[in-house]
Amino acid sequence: MKFSSKIQRCGLSPIRKFHPYVVAAEAKGRKVHHLNIGQPDIETPEAFFDAVRSFGESVLAYAPSPGVETYLEAVRDYYTGMGFPITCGDILATYGGSEALQIVLPCILEEGDEILIPEPFYPNYETFVHITGAAIRPIETNPDEGYRYASRDRIEPLINEHTRAILVTNPGNPTGVVLTEEELRTLADIAREHDLFLISDEVYRELVYGGQKLSSMLEFEDAAENVVVVDSVSKRFSATGSRVGVMITRNRELMAQAAKISQGRLCAATLDQVGAAALYRSMTPEYYVNLRAEYQRRRDAVVAGLTKIPGVRFNSPEGAFYLMVTLPVDDTEKLQYFLLEEFEDHGETVMYAPGEGFYATPGKGRSEIRIAYVTNPAELTRSIELLDLGIAAYNARKENV
Amino acid sequence: MKFSSKIQRCGLSPIRKFHPYVVAAEAKGRKVHHLNIGQPDIETPEAFFDAVRSFGESVLAYAPSPGVETYLEAVRDYYTGMGFPITCGDILATYGGSEALQIVLPCILEEGDEILIPEPFYPNYETFVHITGAAIRPIETNPDEGYRYASRDRIEPLINEHTRAILVTNPGNPTGVVLTEEELRTLADIAREHDLFLISDEVYRELVYGGQKLSSMLEFEDAAENVVVVDSVSKRFSATGSRVGVMITRNRELMAQAAKISQGRLCAATLDQVGAAALYRSMTPEYYVNLRAEYQRRRDAVVAGLTKIPGVRFNSPEGAFYLMVTLPVDDTEKLQYFLLEEFEDHGETVMYAPGEGFYATPGKGRSEIRIAYVTNPAELTRSIELLDLGIAAYNARKENV
């Protein structure tokens, strides 16, 4: 039996592929500290569980394909409250931010088409694009320039007759880059002038550490036809298992095309939408202030630790809960295998996501890693210390070979 | 901006597209009886809500990509209990049966490929196939032969070098056909001999009314590499809003390809899987006996009513909760508009799914409708009576024009 050429172009998640080695390390009694995955330890607000527990219907019925009304209204009010006026008709409820991409990309991409994505990027974008038959044209960035990408001279030379869209994550995963108002405007202008969709994955919106105004591509009314916002409750409310997101666009034709897929899969999960509506309704400004402060403490712990490691290069991240770090090693995947199979300090070791999987350009990212700072500061401090010790042990071993 | 040719080949759900006309009819004070949609009124077992209410974690975290362990084990035990030995590794948890198809089809289909599907078929299959770029080659059936399709002479002439798979729904939606043991064997043999995937959508497995042994394509060990079973809790446990299903296959390579997509979208919803596990664990043989008896009463009410309508042709369905009916009218879509916009009896009217949307062959099904018998017998009896009166009024009006 034959498999499609598209699925064969896809890879397994570079974040999850070390899982068997973790299992083996744990079987040897090692404690593995995790800097590799975006699962926060912050409690999901009780409002979610309360709403789910008090669900009063005796039949758990299909939700409407566009979404449960109370959920759509809660999302609308959240955006309107930030000064981005949208209607419920601009919103499609999805299974997390992931499904928003799984819906919008097949609507606009197919064989021969290209989508511009700044690299390094969230690796699952590659799967979602490859399944459509299209290709990613990476917008190259440079660690020494803090991975910034949103300028005309970097993007416009990449646009050709095959280009259909630009996809950005802001605040950035894996880089922690937060776009400035001027950069946002530049992206909107480029999309409008070149007649491209601008897909903006804004799931980390609230997690900014420089006092920036919370932003959304929805602010640019003149690019309303171009902009598609992807959002989710996963990170904002520490509810990654709830799988509730949205695709937002004021482009009526795109919404009509997307309805074909959303009707095809009937609806997103009813109870999760009920819970998500309650999350949005219950949230106060203090919630976000505290959430931001907590992640800032975590960021600061990681930055303080990294600063002590000789030869490490990085920029302090401005948002989200990730950063890319260049390590003084030949190959961070080899280092990861070493850390899981050979290294230990007091029975402990550490795990991160090797950088190569975040790049479309072959060979790039080999000295980089992505760190997710989703555990508490003490745990993060120890994790970075293990990284420091591991690098030294790895390089010492290599020099002795 | 351009949309993909694939999404443009997709249509809106023929089952959901009359929704605006229902809203308008209701606004005029009409009561609309529903024979059109597969949303049962049977209560979701309390076990689901109990499990969800007693979820004890404070962080609603990502589930593993392949599924929550207790859910996978519950599904495995359900199949093993029926005599179909599978392991947890053969099971992938999905967002309902729909996502099982959204995962398996892109793994095996692309431009130029063909998949054989007996028509009439569940219309959303068309969306899922078109998104991959492949085409449906319909296996033609005949109302006068009870829509049966599983014979070599009907299927083998359609197989060519582009054929990758056969997709069947058993028990059948929209036909109510239940495959015999001999027909199942024939399909397995054809798939094996021609090196095709055999995707078997078995979400209505328990709903058979002739005392048949419950079947699954998993019984054919010699076709283990070919068979992919799609299943879901939606209909079995009257929990359509929970969106929990499975893709099951013993083909390791297919499972490895599917993992690329399942890892890409991270996981299915955690709480729904916890609830679904409890559903499987709580179910006794009596539950299924009662469920079947209730749907049989409903089927019998529909059949009794239809028998009284002059000129109507149908076969009493053997399973699922649907049947196709040929009406004595020129066009059942026109009749549907008439029923919603002009007809009423004591302020009431009725809605079904016109047959054309269930066919890939243009022009077929125009005199047919699909009825879903998911409401109580009295309600169904009144619905069929309205259909009878509506047909008479429609044909009388036409003759007077």
Looking at this predicted complex, what is its ipTM? 0.94
Please tell me the distance in Å from A210's CA to the nearest CA on chain B: 27
Nearest residue in chain A measured CA to CA from B134: A4
List the single residue in B4, B61, B128 with the smallest CB-CB distance to A110.
B4
Please report which confidence band the pLDDT of residue A12 belongs to, taking 50, 70 and 90 as the band edges: confident
Predicted confidence at residue B20, as pLDDT, reads 86
**Interface contact B44-A59, CB threshold 8 A:** yes
List the single residue in A107, A239, A261 with the smallest CB-CB distance to B3.
A107
Task: Please state, as a whole number, how many other Cβ atoms lie within 10 Å of the Cβ of residue A142.
Answer: 10
Please say if the pLDDT value at position A34 is more than 80: yes
Backbone φ/ψ region at B242: left (φ over 0), alpha (ψ -120 to 50), beta = alpha
Predicted confidence at residue A202, as pLDDT, reads 98
For chain B, the domains span: 5-43+286-400, 46-283
User: Which tens digits make up the pLDDT trace of B213-250?
Assistant: 999 999 999 999 999 999 999 999 999 999 999 999 99
Please tell me the distance in Å from A71's CA to the nearest CA on chain B: 15
**Interface contact B58-A43, CB threshold 8 A:** yes
Q: How far is CA A89 from CA A72, A85, A92, A280, B330, in A?
A: 9, 12, 8, 18, 36
- CATH architecture of the domain covering B46-283: 3-Layer(aba) Sandwich (3.40)
**Interface contact A16-B65, CB threshold 8 A:** yes
Strand order in the sheet with A91-94: A91-94, A245-249, A227-232, A197-201, A163-169, A114-118, A135-139
Predicted confidence at residue B39, as pLDDT, reads 79
Nearest residue in chain B measured CA to CA from A261: B127
Please say if the pLDDT value at position B43 is more than 60: yes
Please say if the pLDDT value at position B401 is more than 60: no
Predicted confidence at residue A41, as pLDDT, reads 87
Contacts of A121 (CB under 8 A, 6+ apart): A136, A138, A167, A169, A174, A358, A359, A360
Residues of A numbered 237-256 whose beta carbons fall under 8 angstroms of chain B's beta carbons: which are they? 238-243, 251, 253-254
Predicted confidence at residue B399, as pLDDT, reads 67
**Can you tell me the distance from the alpha carbon of B250 to that of B252, in angstroms, rounded to the nearest whole number?**
6
| B264 in contact with A, Cβ within 8 Å | yes
- In chain A, pLDDT over 70 holds for what percent of residues? 99
**Interface contact B7-A95, CB threshold 8 A:** no
**Can you tell me the distance from the alpha carbon of B236 to that of B292, in angstroms, rounded to the nearest whole number?**
10
Cα–Cα–Cα angle for A236, A62, B267, rounded to 5 degrees: 45
Q: What DSSP assignment string belongs to A146-188?
A: TT---SHHHHGGG--TTEEEEEEESS-TTT-----HHHHHHHH
Task: Please state, as a whole number, how many other Cβ atoms lie within 10 Å of the Cβ of residue A194.
Answer: 15
Say which range, A6-20, A145-159, A353-367, B386-400, has the weakest mean pLDDT. Answer: A6-20
Tell me the residue ranges of DSSP E strands in A78-232. Answer: 91-94, 114-118, 135-139, 163-169, 197-201, 227-232
Tell me the residue ranges of DSSP E strands in A233-283. Answer: 245-249
Predicted confidence at residue A107, as pLDDT, reads 98
B360 close to B211: Cβ distance less than 8 angstroms: no
Please say if the pLDDT value at position B149 is more than 80: yes
Helices B252-264/A124-132 angle, 10° precision: 110
- In chain B, pLDDT over 90 holds for what percent of residues? 94
Q: What DSSP assignment string belongs to A6-47?
A: HHHH----TTTTTHHHHHHHHHTTPEEEE-S-----SPPPHH
CB pairs under 8 A between A and B: 229
| B160 in contact with A, Cβ within 8 Å | no
* Whole-prediction pTM: 0.95
Amino acid identity of residue B138, one-letter, is P
Domains B5-43+286-400 and B46-283 share a fold: no
Please tell me the distance in Å from B247's CA to the nearest CA on chain A: 15
Please tell me the distance in Å from B25's CA to the nearest CA on chain A: 19
B151 close to B183: Cβ distance less than 8 angstroms: yes
Q: How far is CA B216 from CA A88, A99, B234, in A?
A: 42, 30, 17
Sign of CA dihedral B201, B203, B207, B211: positive
Nearest residue in chain B measured CA to CA from A256: B12
Candidates B245, B180, A157, A320; CA nearest to B168 is: B180
Please tell me the distance in Å from A308's CA to the nearest CA on chain B: 32
Please report which confidence band the pLDDT of residue B46 belongs to, taking 50, 70 and 90 as the band edges: very high
Please report which confidence band the pLDDT of residue B12 belongs to, taking 50, 70 and 90 as the band edges: confident
Tell me which CATH homologous superfamily contains domain A5-43+286-400: Aspartate Aminotransferase, domain 1 (3.90.1150.10)
Across all residues in chain B, what is the average pLDDT?
95
